[in-house]
Amino acid sequence: MSENDFRPGPGGGHQPQQPNYPHYGWQQPMPAAQVLPPAQPRKKGKRVAALVSATAVAAALVGGAGGAAIVGLEGGSSPGSATTATATTVSGSTNTDVSSVAAKVLPSVVQVNVTTRQGDAIGSGVILSSDGKILTNAHVVSGAVGNVTVSLSDGTKYQASVLGTDTTADIAVLQAKGASGLTAAALGDSSQLHVGQQVVAIGSPAGLQNTVTSGIVSALNRQLSDIGTGGQQSSPYNQTANSDSPSYTAIQTDAAINQGNSGGALVNMAGQVVGINSALYSPSSSAGSVGIGFAIPINDAKTIVSQLEKG
């Protein structure tokens, strides 16, 4: 079974029973008729089943055929279209709540469905223009056979072609065919980020479109090649470094991202895209997000997009 496959597995565990400690010190004795019965022990929590990847790696790409893709999912429909938020205006202040940020940005984030020789893969993307230019990760569309399908937050689907990719920067640009009137994302300035700043991640983890999580910027200028287990460095591409392996300086965040979030938006509290979610750290004991995610700074992404557009 490959790292791209999923199987049911435990996602929770029980909480140990808390002991009842005696109360020390003198208290007024209670009449015998008022003595309370001993407290009933707390029941153990139920175990919860979850979908987990078959193989966890030290650092896993979070969507697409080249890395930790969601492969073998049947049907192209997404369960997320029913959760679309109504767009609202978000001010430039950093005090905006997450729901307002999500309402603004959700219409600008798409789900990307790719057919490869290994199966069907799912990632995310960010709309750059009203006529359907879309930014995503190169590993999301790696190995694509024919066109890819992009799904808007309201469920509308378009066929899309790959305009260009840069595998080292892990950036790809798509073009939705016949698209018009799409809501382009507002792109921010990633050089203005600071550690501790609140951010929001939006994408399609496990194919669950329109998923919103929040957290903070945990660190800046992380070298992707430094990610590893026990001091060992490993590549997100099946732990084997090669010329096509991505190499970039990333934003580290604790906003939960999982397989399928790749290519989705990392957003500041002004509703501006400041990064493209691309990788997560997943030690062998974990099947999903452990609060260490990585995003490509949007300033770097804009430079690569400009180069790809020029051919």
Catalytic residues: 139, 170, 262
Question: How far is 145 from 222, CA to CA, in rounded Å?
Answer: 33
Question: How far is 124 from 35, CA to CA, in rounded Å?
Answer: 61
- Residue 99's contacts (CB-CB under 8 Å, 6 or more residues apart) are 85
Using an 8 Å Cβ cutoff, are 267 and 200 in contact?
A: yes
- What is the end-to-end Cα distance of the chain in Å, rounded? 39
Show the tokens assigned to 8.
């049911």
Q: Is 214 helix (H, G, I), strand (E, B) or coil?
A: strand
Question: How far is 266 from 251, CA to CA, in rounded Å?
Answer: 10
Q: Is 199 helix (H, G, I), strand (E, B) or coil?
A: strand
Question: How far is 273 from 227, CA to CA, in rounded Å?
Answer: 24
Numbers of helices and strands, H then E, in the chain: 3, 17
Q: Are strands 249-253 and 273-281 parallel, antiparallel or unpaired?
A: unpaired
Q: Is 264 helix (H, G, I), strand (E, B) or coil?
A: coil
CA dihedral in degrees (280, 204, 201, 183; nearest 10)?
A: 140
Using an 8 Å Cβ cutoff, are 134 and 150 in contact?
A: yes
Using an 8 Å Cβ cutoff, are 54 and 3 in contact?
A: yes
Q: What is the DSSP letter of 187?
A: B
Show the tokens assigned to 58.
């030290």
